[in-house]
Structure formats: C-alpha cells, structure tokens
Amino acid sequence: MATTTIENDYGGRIIRSVSAATVNWLTDVRNATTGSSLNNYTSNTSVGEAIRVQYTASRAGSSGACNRFFLFFDTSSVAGTITACDLKVLGYLNSGANVIPVESTAYGGNGSSSSLFLSDYNNLDFATPFASASTSWSTTGYNTFSLNATAISKMNTNSYLNVVLIDDEYDYQNSSPATGTNYSSGIEIFDTTNPIVLDITYTPTPTGYANTVNGVTSANIDKVLTVSSSNIDKVIGV
C-alpha cells in the first residue's frame, strides 16, 4: 500500500435565496433549478456560511435560503488503485449545520470548466452520498469524511472526485425546516497551512514483470527482451 495527498483544484459556493409573500422551502429553494448568487474561490478565503439552511415565515412575508459548497479534485496522478480515502475540510466560524458530501456534476462534470455557474446549483445527486454526515463540525480544525466505496469507485473509474457539501438535516433529507431555522457551517478554502485535501491510500500499479516467464526470472526478462538481432538464432536455439 502507498499513500498520497491531493488538494482540491476548484471550489465554490452557490446560494439559493428567495423572498416572497409565501415561500415553499422545498419547492422554491431546495428543488430550484438555479442559484441566486455564487462565489468561485481561487485563493485563501474564510466562508462563514459555506453550507446553510434558512427559513422564516410571517404575515409580513417569507424568506428561504440554501447554500451548497462545491469541490473538485483531479486524482489522475494516483499511480494505482485507490482503496481508501478521507476528505478533510477545514472548518471556520459556524458549526450549526450537519454536513454530508454527495455526488456533484458541476464544473462541466469532469472538470472541463474551472468555474461554477448558477445552473450548477441543481447539479448534484441526492441519491449518491459519498460518506456519512458529520455529527459535529469543527470551526478550527479538519472535519474528516471517510469516503465510501461509491466515491472510491468513481475516483478509480473517472480519475476525479466531483463533490458538493450540503446540509444533512433539511437539504439532504428533503425536509422542510420550521420557521425561524437558520443553520450554517463554515469552511476555510485554499488555506496555505491546512488546505482541503483527499488523503488517499492506494495499491500501486505494478511496473515491469512480477512473475517468471517460461522459467525465466523477472530479473532476466529485460535481458531476453533486449537481445540483439545477431543473437536471435542463439536464443531461439536455446
């Protein structure tokens, strides 16, 4: 087994925010097809409301919001088959929302786009979680998700991990929050000391020949393969 650490290539937040006389949080916020605003991060940034769920309703009007945090990792440099992986996310400021990583198809799906678009708000698969949800959120250190077999398989097949961090209690569970709900958890992205990373364990791809060939040991195979043309008859006649 071998290990390697890979930092995220891209990262950003998409916010869906609605204010109206009446807001249905599930229909107008969670299940909306586009976001209201977004941030594409390229340098060290403290994001206090990286993941958020908010809802209020009164006779004066209603408002609802949902924030989703997207990450993309290029894992093509892993020289073997990934067998285990931890996603480590540095927390910041707020810790009210339990967080779960699920599959995303933002960033062009395969990383062909380095930027998020408002339409990427809905580019996620609630049916494909990549780990269990957090039960507490550190605001000063790493929050670690042990990625499941589905995430590992996708990295081995696609050579990338496309993931979005969302609220577990309402967003992932498809549950409407009570009025007065305002939960968020923060993230520090592109921190120079503790960047967001994948800690990967993998089985290296074998190089050369591991077995004997017709009784020739692996140490001597290269000698056989590099015999000059003038000696081929001798080799064949051995």
How does pLDDT run across 26-62, given as a tens digit for each residue?
Answer: 999 999 999 999 999 999 999 999 999 999 999 889 9
Q: Up-side HSE of residue 21: CA atoms within 13 Å toward CB?
A: 0
Distances (CA, A) of 157 to 27, 76, 102: 34, 10, 17
222 vs 62, residue with greater confidence: 62
pLDDT of residue 228: 52
pLDDT at 156: 98
What single-letter amino acid sits at 152? I
Please tell me the predicted confidence (pLDDT) of residue 71. 98
Q: Is 144 helix (H, G, I), strand (E, B) or coil?
A: strand
Query: If pLDDT is split at 50, 70 and 90, which confidence band does 207 have?
Result: confident
Tens digits of residue pLDDT in 54-90: 999 998 899 999 999 999 999 999 999 999 999 999 9
pLDDT score, position 230: 55
- The fraction of the chain above a pLDDT of 70, given in percent, is 87
Strand, coil or helix: 21: coil
pLDDT over 70 (residue 3): yes
The continuous run of DSSP H or E covering 219 comes out as: helix 218-225
Task: Please say if the pLDDT value at position 226 is more than 70.
Answer: no
Terminal CA-CA length for the chain: 39
Higher pLDDT, 107 or 218: 107
Q: What is the pTM (predicted TM-score) of this model?
A: 0.88
Beta-bridged to residue 124, according to DSSP, are 104
Rounded to an integer, what distance in angstroms lies between the CA atom of residue 24 and that of residue 227?
Answer: 76
Asked if pLDDT for residue 224 goes beyond 50, the answer is no
**Spatial distance between the Cα atoms of 138 and 109, rounded to a whole number of angstroms:** 29
Query: Look-up: residue for tokens 């670690």?
Result: 144
